[in-house]
Amino acid sequence: MERQSQRLSVHDLYRVKWLIGAFMALISVGALYNLKTHNWIPASVTVAAITLCVLLPKLYANAPAALWKIFAFSIVPLVSIDIFAKETVPALLNLNTWLILYRSLNHQKRREEMQLVLLCLFLLVMTGMLTASILFGLQLLVFAGLAISFLSIGTILDSKSAGASESIDPSDAWKEHSGWLNLAGSMRYRNVVIGSAMFSVLIGIAGFSFLFIPRVDVENKVNLFNMKGAASQTGFSESVQLGEVTSIKNDTRVALRVDVAGERVVPAMPYWRMLALDAYSNGGFSISPSLKEMLDDEDSTPYRAVRYWKDRWFADAPSRDQTRDRWTFFVEPGVSKFLPIVGSFKQFTYTNLNDVRIAPQMHAFALKETPSKMVSYQLEDVDFSARVPDVPAERMRDLSVRRVTNRVDSDSPEYPKTLLELPADEASRAYLSAVAREITGGAPINALEFATRAANYLSRTHSYSMNITLPPVTDIQDPVVRWLRSDLDGHCEFFASSFILLARAAGFESRVVIGFKGGAWNAFENYYMIRNSDAHAWCEIYDGVGNWIRVDPTPGSELPASPGSTVALESQIGESDSLAYVDSLRMLWYRRIVNFDEQSQKEVAIQLKDFFLAYMQVAEEWAIRAVKQIYDWIVAPWSLAKLFYTSTSLFIAVSILLFQRNLALNYRELLLAPFKRGDPIRRKASKLLAKSEQKRRKRSKGTPEDREAVISELKRLRFGRKETWPNPRLVFKEARRWL
Amino acid sequence: MSLSAAKDQFAWRGPASDRAAKPFSTKVKELFIPPKGEKVLPTASGMMLILIGLCIGLAAYNTENNILFAALSLLVATIVMSGLFCWSNIISARWRLETSPTFRVGEDGEISVVIENARQRFPLFCLLFDVGNEKTGESTALHLRESLDPGASCRLVWRYRPTQRCVAHFRIFEAVSSFPFGFLRKHVPGECAAEAKIWPARIEYRRLKMVGSGFGWQGASTKKKGSTGELIGLRQYARGDAPRSIHWKVSARQGNLVVKQNAAESQARYSLIVNPSGYLWPKEALFEKMCSFVTSLAEDLFLAGDLDCCQILGGSKIKISRVADLGTFFDEISALEWQLDSNVGENTEQSRAVTFSPLNGNSVGAVVNGKTIAEA
């Protein structure tokens, strides 16, 4: 016998609703931990308080009401401190957190329930806007489930208490509490199924709404909820010391994802260029002060980029040229304010161009601050050759002069002299000159030739290793030159720094470039995953005719003179393990949710249309093919076997038809019989009786006796004992005649 | 099948009142174009949600931020789902109104809404019925407290204590479904009504002695039929006969119910004549008192077997031989309306007619042959 579950009482429901409200608050406040730069104290206090109340509900129930009043009043000074001490957004987050703490533990009325749901949603959305992480998506899903349970239980509670849910005495409700597990045991399986179905419907409708809410491209977008930027990773900042880039290599988290569309061939070993450093001092490279000033200047916005690059376009929406290849970059928060690029391009698309700064001399693109959330931008018509253009000479002078006039004189050299800057100590310079002469052989050679020889020289004298021990200081102070003079192994920074110093000693302007090299191809969603461990340093040498040539002196890299090897995009072999799958979900989140725009909406509509058209086409082709096959079969010469086959098939078909006519139920009713309750004959009789009743009502004339007899027999089939049944088939047949 | 055909005898109302299920296309059409009288209205929480949705939508369009669009989608889905579920919850419900057979001022009666879930798979949740008395303007909200399993029915009871004599019109004004979130409420007309006569309250009155004749006089037995006194015969049971009048021994022998016919104890059987004319009852309170007095006296006379017939002037005479006859008279009393300018004429009744007239301004007297026999 089936055990009847005990129904939850009003007080049980009250406690279940309270628990779900507490979970909802925990989920939304927990989202604050996604914000790395936010003060976690209010969130931690809230989580601890709610958890304590959930674990010790009796303690919570016995807390004096005055405690909550005191807390409600204390929110004002707490938030006032925040407002005076911090920016608006953190203050708003903290206010929301304190209010959630108060409301999650004190909600009695329907409007208070609604307040709790909206406060939690508001906090969740704010953190989502500030992080745009996939974790937010998961939290929103869980929150949606909890919120609909919370609201539904609130409605059921109101109905169960005959509209008096607001006057339930909490102390009475908690007196009956005998543990959450006991309460969970009283839950009915059916309610869980209905709840799950409701959640699925909600997510379905929400997904549909998200896809088809009309999107409009708005000019002058408002930028809501900007938080103070996160700190860049050391190694991707404006000043890099020896070993800082390599230290990132221990981190295997994905720093950059790149989606490639419309490209057939991609570099076999792509270089994701972030920033170029020109000034050198004692083993460290940095951006020279004059360039830094230019980067921070308001004039360095993309709107003025036409001064330097007449063939480039900066926009906040993609171009309509469908023939262009598109590289979409998704940079994780806190990596760097410099945006990685794969080469020169025709268009740079970013939603808020006011936040972008351009350093044309470095061919670098940066944001005002290191972003605290994922940043995405797109390059169109990318040229991934190993060259980047320099600023034209006439524009260069204009830029430099205008800023130099405002600068205070200092001992440090100005750009572009920094491109030839060498170590300060004479011994180092002398050694570098000697090695440079050895490489050139004393004869004048061009930059490319020098780069090739210098890279070969470094490969001959040093090997690659991540474990470095620098030789002790002797007459040479500079650490890079000390390493160069030794036969020790080194990592990319030593090779790059050594190359730069040698090139400069030989009179070639050069600079070190920081970024990523390579990356893994994700086979699930087809995109590049570039991890922090792919961080790399290489060089650029000026060819004297307006281009900077990439040189990677680290052993194993391609020589600068060699043409860059490429690989077909379709033949990329990538990672397909579980980690790659998890990462592909994140990419899906970025592509389909975070970066979903008007264009994507159109694409979805077109895909849907194409799908249905393709489906129709397949069906049409199948039908034509089938008809043709039948026709061919008929017109083909008839053999005895074919005749036998045809007549047998026809006989079987007719037999089946006749057999069915002798059944009381048709095929549909026979097929559905196992899935429906009750006897199928009784059910059919009932259906026909109902139909006859309808017909009787419509007819004004008296019913014939025959018809009454049929109804009587139908009633016998419907209600009578099976032993007294007439032949159902005949009764149904007769009933159909009259109906 | 969830329901037996026997249930068709009830006058079900509500979306599932038709025995035959509506075609799916009709249901979908009614979702978008509701039948007359049906409506979906937002609650205060729903209005708040819509407002928040508008704000988030405004922010989403101005920032083009997909996180805001995701939140907006969630709110839109919640509202859509709220409307969809509150509609689908009520669409398979049917109900009827049942009332107690009699109501009396100051005494509890029952008004019940019987609900049935005509679904085969899913339960019915959180319905609310607005039930009331149209005549007096009293109403209450009856909540479906427990979910109703498929095919099951339940009764929501309103214990109603009338406060005034009248012909009450009980009605289910509307049925409301706010399941699951309470943001939107589907209102469906109740369509059920029931009329009930509310008898006047029983009041205390004082009997005045009448020596020699009339009320309370124990006379000789007659051969007239009555409820007490000497047994003069037997007859077949008829509806309305008191159970105590059944002759059980004879009934057992004959196989069907037989009741005793007794001779009346007294010759002094009275007729009650009520004159509701306005000139007689200048105050409504006095008129009401008279009505209560009439019913109280009639009840006592009937129990004593001294009541012959009752009449409201202007109406027909009711011969009182059974409880049901007395009920009919009470029903007429409950339907009486006080009108100052009404005049139904004078009583021309013979002797032993009890008439009612005001006494001393605030009292009502029962008068027989010009003598007051009782006072209230």
**Which chain A residue is nearest to residue B125, measuring alpha carbons?**
A156
Taking only residues 244 to 283 of chain B, the set having a beta carbon closer than 8 angstroms to any beta carbon of chain A reads: none
Cβ distance A163 to B59 less than 8 Å, yes or no, reads no
- Residue A405: inside a domain: no
3-state secondary structure of B287: helix
Mean pLDDT in chain A?
85
Cβ distance A160 to B77 less than 8 Å, yes or no, reads no
Considering only CB atoms, which chain B residues are within 8 Å of A694? 20
Count other Cβ atoms within 10 Å, centred on residue B225.
15
Residue B124 in contact with partner chain A when CB distance is under 8 A: no
Question: Which of B62, B77, B180 faces A209 most closely, judged by CB atoms?
Answer: B77
Give me the pLDDT at residue A505, please: 92
Question: Each residue of B260-311: pLDDT tens digit?
Answer: 877 554 455 788 888 888 888 888 888 888 899 999 988 888 887 788 888 8
Query: Domain check: are A627 and A645 in the same one?
Result: no
Cβ distance B180 to A148 less than 8 Å, yes or no, reads yes
- Residue A278: inside a domain: yes
Give me the pLDDT at residue A398, please: 54
Cβ distance B179 to A156 less than 8 Å, yes or no, reads yes
Residue B70 in contact with partner chain A when CB distance is under 8 A: yes
Region A494-502 average pLDDT? 92
Angle, alpha carbons A531-A533-A538 (nearest 5°): 105
pLDDT at A403 over 80: no
Query: Domain check: are A647 and A630 in the same one?
Result: no
pLDDT at A273 over 50: yes
Asked if the interface predicted TM-score (ipTM) of this complex is over 0.90, the answer is no
pLDDT at A393 over 60: no
What strand order describes the sheet that includes A547-551? Answer: A271-277, A510-517, A535-542, A547-551, A387-389
Q: Which domains does chain B have, with CATH numbers?
A: 1-199 (2.60.40.10), 206-219+268-375 (no CATH), 220-265 (no CATH)
Question: Which of A156, A202, A223 faces B126 most closely, judged by CB atoms?
Answer: A156
Number of domains in chain A: 4
Give me the pLDDT at residue A411, please: 64
Give me the pLDDT at residue A339, please: 93
Domain that holds residue A615: 603-634
Query: Domain check: are A662 and A523 in the same one?
Result: no
- Residue A423 CA: distances (Å) to CA of A431, A437, A492, B257: 11, 17, 19, 128
Cβ distance B45 to A110 less than 8 Å, yes or no, reads yes
Query: Domain check: are A165 and A234 in the same one?
Result: no
Cβ distance B73 to A209 less than 8 Å, yes or no, reads yes
Helix then strand then coil, % of chain B, to nearest 5: 25, 35, 40
Our CA-based measurement puts residue B42 at a distance from the nearest CA of chain A, in whole angstroms, of: 14
Give me the pLDDT at residue A219, please: 67
Which residues are within 8 A (CB) of A552 and not within 5 positions of it... i.e. 6 or more apart?
A271, A455, A496, A517, A536, A538, A539, A558, A560
Q: Which helix (H) or strand (E) holds B234?
A: strand B225-236
Q: Using omega within 30 degrees of 0 as the cis cutoff, is the peptide bond preceding B180 cis?
A: yes
- Residue A407: inside a domain: no
What is the DSSP code string of B339-353? -TT---------TTE
Query: Domain check: are A276 and A140 in the same one?
Result: no
Give me the pLDDT at residue A224, please: 67
Give me the pLDDT at residue B371, please: 82
Which residue is listed with tokens 């972030």?
A: A274
Question: Which of A111, A118, A677 faces B52 most closely, judged by CB atoms?
Answer: A118
Considering only CB atoms, which chain B residues are within 8 Å of A125? 56, 67-68, 71
Give me the pLDDT at residue B209, please: 62
Taking only residues 156 to 215 of chain B, the set having a beta carbon closer than 8 angstroms to any beta carbon of chain A reads: 178-183
Residue B21 in contact with partner chain A when CB distance is under 8 A: no
3-state secondary structure of B177: strand
**Which chain A residue is nearest to residue B50, measuring alpha carbons?**
A118
Region A313-328 average pLDDT? 87
Cβ distance A125 to B67 less than 8 Å, yes or no, reads yes
Cβ distance B122 to A194 less than 8 Å, yes or no, reads yes
Measure the CA dihedral B61/B65/B68/B69, to 10°: 70
Our CA-based measurement puts residue B259 at a distance from the nearest CA of chain A, in whole angstroms, of: 39
- Residue A219: inside a domain: no
Query: Domain check: are A576 and A687 in the same one?
Result: no
Residue B45 in contact with partner chain A when CB distance is under 8 A: yes
Cβ distance A118 to B5 less than 8 Å, yes or no, reads no
pLDDT category, A6, cuts 50, 70, 90?
low
Considering only CB atoms, which chain A residues are within 8 Å of B128? 159, 163
In angstroms, rounded to a whole number, what is the distance separating the alpha carbons of residues A513 and A362? Answer: 9
Count other Cβ atoms within 10 Å, centred on residue B119.
20
Residue B95 forms beta bridges with which residues? B13, B115
Total residue length of chain B: 376
Question: Which of A159, A213, A593 faces B126 most closely, judged by CB atoms?
Answer: A159
- Residue A344 CA: distances (Å) to CA of A30, A307, A311, A337, A514: 42, 16, 11, 19, 16
Cβ distance A210 to B5 less than 8 Å, yes or no, reads no
Query: Domain check: are A387 and A308 in the same one?
Result: yes
Considering only CB atoms, which chain B residues are within 8 Å of A202? 74, 77-78, 81
pLDDT category, A600, cuts 50, 70, 90?
confident
Question: Which of A147, A159, A691 faces B143 most closely, judged by CB atoms?
Answer: A159
Contacts 24+ apart (CB under 8 A), A577-580: A580/A520, A580/A522, A580/A523, A580/A524, A580/A529
Query: Domain check: are A233 and A201 in the same one?
Result: no
What strand order describes the sheet that includes B153-160? Answer: B93-99, B109-117, B153-160
C-alpha B5, offset from chain centre = 27
- Residue A182: inside a domain: yes
Measure the CA dihedral B279/B284/B286/B288, to 10°: 120
Question: Which of A111, A190, A206 faces B44 most closely, judged by CB atoms?
Answer: A111
In angstroms, rounded to a whole number, what is the distance separating the alpha carbons of residues B287 and B200? Answer: 11
Cβ distance B120 to A677 less than 8 Å, yes or no, reads yes
Choosing from A169, A187, A212, the residue where a domain stops is A212
Task: Check residue A516 and report its DSSP letter.
Answer: E
Question: Which of A140, A151, A351 faces B180 most closely, judged by CB atoms?
Answer: A151
**Which chain B residue is nearest to residue A316, measuring alpha carbons?**
B64
Considering only CB atoms, which chain A residues are within 8 Å of B44? 110-111
Query: Domain check: are A547 and A623 in the same one?
Result: no
pLDDT category, A692, cuts 50, 70, 90?
confident
Question: Which of A209, A373, A591 would you mutate first to test chain B, the one with the most B CBs within 10 A?
Answer: A209
Considering only CB atoms, which chain A residues are within 8 Å of B1? 678, 682-683, 686
Query: Domain check: are A302 and A436 in the same one?
Result: yes
Taking one residue from A and the other from B, the number of pairs with CB-CB distance under 8 angstroms is 152
CA atoms within 13 A on the CB side of B329: 30
Given a cut of 70, the residues of chain B with pLDDT beneath it are 1-9, 19-20, 209-230, 232, 263-268, 340, 342-351
Residue B365 forms beta bridges with which residues? B357, B375
3-class secondary structure per residue, A684-730: HHHHHHHHHHHHHHHCCCCCCHHHHHHHHHHHHHHHCCHHHCCCHHH
Considering only CB atoms, which chain A residues are within 8 Å of B19? 690, 693
Cβ distance A111 to B45 less than 8 Å, yes or no, reads yes
Question: Which of A151, A683, A690 faces B182 most closely, judged by CB atoms?
Answer: A151
In angstroms, rounded to a whole number, what is the distance separating the alpha carbons of residues A699 and A696? Answer: 5
Considering only CB atoms, which chain B residues are within 8 Å of A682? 1
Choosing from A180, A212, A244, the residue where a domain stops is A212
Question: Which of B48, B49, B65 would you mutate first to test chain A, the one with the most A CBs within 10 A?
Answer: B65
Q: Render the burial of B274-309: b for 16+ CB within 10 Å, e for the rest.
A: bbbbeebbeeeebbbbbbbbbbbbbbbbbebbbbbb
What is the DSSP code string of A528-579? EEEEGGGEEEEEEEE-SSSEEEEE--STTSPPTTSPPPEEEGGG---B-SHH
Query: Domain check: are A629 and A568 in the same one?
Result: no
Question: Each residue of A323-379: pLDDT tens digit?
Answer: 889 999 999 888 888 999 988 899 999 888 888 888 888 888 998 888 878 889 999
pLDDT category, A318, cuts 50, 70, 90?
confident
Taking only residues 130 to 159 of chain B, the set having a beta carbon closer than 8 angstroms to any beta carbon of chain A reads: 141, 143-147
- Residue A512: inside a domain: yes
**Which chain B residue is nearest to residue A688, measuring alpha carbons?**
B20
- Residue A669: inside a domain: yes
Question: Which of A144, A163, A209 faces B141 most closely, judged by CB atoms?
Answer: A163
3-state secondary structure of A184: helix
Choosing from A596, A622, A645, the residue where a domain stops is A596
Considering only CB atoms, which chain B residues are within 8 Å of A355? none
Query: Domain check: are A147 and A14 in the same one?
Result: yes
Question: Which of B49, B74, B81 faces A201 most closely, judged by CB atoms?
Answer: B81
- Residue A385: inside a domain: yes
Cβ distance B48 to A118 less than 8 Å, yes or no, reads yes
Our CA-based measurement puts residue A246 at a distance from the nearest CA of chain B, in whole angstroms, of: 36
Question: Which of A152, A155, A592 would you mutate first to test chain B, the one with the most B CBs within 10 A?
Answer: A155
Our CA-based measurement puts residue B180 at a distance from the nearest CA of chain A, in whole angstroms, of: 5
Q: Using omega within 30 degrees of 0 as the cis cutoff, is the peptide bond preceding A318 cis?
A: no
Residue B31 in contact with partner chain A when CB distance is under 8 A: no
* pTM of this prediction exceeds 0.80: no
